[in-house]
Amino acid sequence: MIYFNQVGYLPDAKKLAITTHHADTFCLCERQTGKMVFEGVLKPFHDGKPDAASGDITYRADFSDFRAAGEYTLHIGNIVSEPFAIQKNAYHNLKIALIRSYYFQRCGCALTAKHAGQFAHACCHHAPAALWDNPSVQIELSGGWHDAGDYGRYVTAAATALAHLLYAFSLFPDRFPDHLNIPESGNGTPDLLNECRYELTWLLKMQRADGGVFHKVSTWRHAPFIMPECDTAPLLAYAVATPATAAFAAITALASRIYAPYDAKFADKLKAAALLSWDFLQEHPEFIAFTNPPGSGTGEYGDSSDRDERFWAAAELFSLTGEKRFLEVFLSLYQEDFSKTALGYAATGGFGALSFYFNPVFAGISLDGKYFVPSAQGEFRNSKILPATQDMHAVRERIRKDFLTAADHCLFLTTQSAYPAAMSEHDYHWGSNMTLMNNGILLILGYLFTGNSDYREAALAQLHYLLGCNALGYSYVTGFGARSCRRPHMRTVFADGIDEPIPGFVSGGPNARPSDEPGRRLIPAGTPPMKCYVDEYGCYSLNEVTIYWNSPAVFVTAFFDEAL
């Protein structure tokens, strides 16, 4: 087989295909005419030694020098690839579908035929939720996105997805159109923001009057594989916890900054909510962890510390208000020992670091030069701007170094990997495609901070892996690529009776230690990590989708797709 990006390549980018088939040369032919347009030498990778993550001995076909747009097939001996495109906007439809996936996850409203086509369905989960430990208290918590293949709505997961999406927007604001065919399309606000607002509007409801934030709203156990409107089990608001409260404060503060130019009233509401949760955190310096009450089976999203969420909240509130009290907490938490580059749901230090790095107080300061552009959203509102002190510059420089160290590690892993991805053989865990895409973000930051195109190329390699240049030759995005996954662990996709999956969903991907029964049964012992994947509905630890696996893919794809 030939492994390559099934969605296609940008004309001027590096273009690689990988094979385990030994031959001397390869060629590229025009799809329509069969005419050979490029010939090259197949190069053994790693001197013919097997690759740790895939177990494969591989050869590389490098056709980077061929730049003409068109549709082609690759030929190695008598093996022929599926056709693929080289074109300028190769990832445009992908970007749109990845964003539109969030519309398909909307909860508490009907999905209409106009916007959802054959995937339309009735309104779901609209009943009020009861406090899980006091059912006489009912709260209206409808709205937001279903988290994943299940119908739960979880605050830390939501904050993470929103962070990837809103940072993508704030760094590349001109890449998000307003014509994605969602209900708000055409209202003059980019649809990414329209879609995120749907989630933020729900998120605001998750805040208690005292500022504490419920960790999640879901049923007691996961629904069977039925459509969401058929899932009428009672909804419950689970306990307040500090990681959720701090992540809430962080994301509402960030959102307040981003939405201000579009809707000042909404921005003010977000800001007030962020401040209220901040006050709750000050009154509760202790870590209030969340664990599922015994017997409850929906997502737990456990965490071992809330320091990094508090760090993130302090950073975003400082970026929003410029107030010293937030800066002080931020600088003190920066000294603590947690990752300052992690962009996940339990480890959020990277978001705090990003916020500080792009803080408007540094506007006009360019450590590297041309790529630091504080966005239109980057202005302090209702506050005085503190002049940046020496300390602040020093921390900012350390943040830059932290990110570059992480990006360099990703670069190193990519050069070591047969299917060039920033993934060591130990990185194939539940949701490995999030690590892959988050590493794509780190590489993009490396590029933005230095202008060194090696980072950019490596970032693109992560997208190539996601879309088929991997040891199984799967494209892990539904509806994209000749061999894309078709049976994601997603209740709607299973229950809707439609053969095609809903397009634009990123599968969790290979997991060397599957937790689900079919995955354990179907993957033989000793299978190399990159091959531990099965495209089956039952494989929740291999083939589920979630809002925070799509979101870093939106970031990476938007970086490579300038089209509107």
Note whether 124 binds Zn ion by CB under 5 A: yes
In terms of Cα–Cα distance, which of 87, 85, 76, 61 is closest to 5? Answer: 85
CB of 539 to ligand 9MR, least distance (A): 10
Segment contacting ligand 9MR (CB under 6 A): 191-199, 304-312, 498-506, 539-547?
539-547
Determine which one of 51, 56, 308, 544 is catalytic. 544
User: Quick one: 2 or 129, whose CB is closer to ligand 9MR?
Assistant: 129
Q: Is 375 exposed, middle or buried (0-12, 13-18, 19+ CB in 10 A)?
A: middle
Determine which one of 489, 516, 536, 561 is catalytic. 489
Sheet holding 2-3, edge to edge: 2-3, 16-19, 59-62, 43-44
Joined tokens for residue 523: 């993957």
Does the annotation count 125 as an active-site position? no
Binding mask 431-450 for ligand 9MR (x = CB under 6 A): x-------------------
Nearest position to ligand 9MR, beta carbon: 299
CB 26 within 8 A of CB 37: no
Distance CA 256, CA 316 (A): 10
In terms of Cα–Cα distance, which of 496, 432, 474 is closest to 149? Answer: 496
CB 7 within 8 A of CB 91: yes
- Please report, for residues 267, 329, 336, the alpha-carbon distance to residue 380 in angstroms, rounded to integers and kept in the order given: 12, 19, 27
CB of 6 to ligand 9MR, least distance (A): 24
Among positions 241-300, residues that touch ligand 9MR (CB under 6 A) are 299-300
Note whether 400 binds Zn ion by CB under 5 A: no
Does the annotation count 150 as an active-site position? yes
Distance CA 280, CA 284 (A): 6
Query: Given CA atoms 158, 159, 160, 162 in this order, what sign does their dihedral have?
Result: positive
CB of 121 to ligand 9MR, least distance (A): 19
Number of residues binding to ligand 9MR, judged by CB under 6 A: 12
Note whether 544 binds ligand 9MR by CB under 6 A: yes
Note whether 125 binds Zn ion by CB under 5 A: yes
CB atoms within 10 A of CB 102: 26
Segment contacting Zn ion (CB under 5 A): 104-112, 243-251, 382-390, 493-501?
104-112
Using CB distances below 5 to 8 A depending on partner kind, what does residue 124 bind out of ligand 9MR, Zn ion, none?
Answer: Zn ion
Using CB distances below 5 to 8 A depending on partner kind, what does residue 431 bind out of Zn ion, ligand 9MR, none?
Answer: ligand 9MR
Strands 129-131 and 235-237: parallel
Does the annotation count 535 as an active-site position? yes
Using CB distances below 5 to 8 A depending on partner kind, what does residue 38 bind out of Zn ion, ligand 9MR, none?
Answer: none
The length of the chain in residues reads 564
User: Quick one: 295 or 364, whose CB is closer to ligand 9MR?
Assistant: 295
User: Quick one: 228 or 349, whose CB is closer to Zn ion?
Assistant: 228
In terms of Cα–Cα distance, which of 388, 441, 407, 421 is closest to 554? Answer: 441
Among positions 301-330, residues that touch ligand 9MR (CB under 6 A) are 301
Note whether 150 binds ligand 9MR by CB under 6 A: yes
Number of residues binding to Zn ion, judged by CB under 5 A: 4
CB of 227 to ligand 9MR, least distance (A): 17
Note whether 430 binds ligand 9MR by CB under 6 A: yes
Determine which one of 51, 56, 147, 150 is catalytic. 150
CB 100 within 8 A of CB 165: no
Does the annotation count 56 as an active-site position? no
Q: What's the DSSP call for residue 47?
A: G
Q: Is 554 exposed, middle or buried (0-12, 13-18, 19+ CB in 10 A)?
A: buried
- Please report, for residues 98, 172, 367, 563, the alpha-carbon distance to residue 12 in angstroms, rounded to integers and kept in the order given: 24, 20, 28, 16
User: Quick one: 431 or 440, whose CB is closer to ligand 9MR?
Assistant: 431
Q: What's the DSSP call for residue 225?
A: S
Distance CA 47, CA 38 (A): 25
Among 9, 51, 102, 147, binds ligand 9MR (CB under 6 A): 147
User: Quick one: 124 or 534, whose CB is closer to Zn ion?
Assistant: 124
Within 60-112, where are the H helices?
92-104
Instruction: Report the interface residues with ligand 9MR, using CB under 6 A.
Output: 147-148, 150, 152, 299-301, 430-431, 540, 544, 546
Residues labelled catalytic? 150, 489, 535, 544
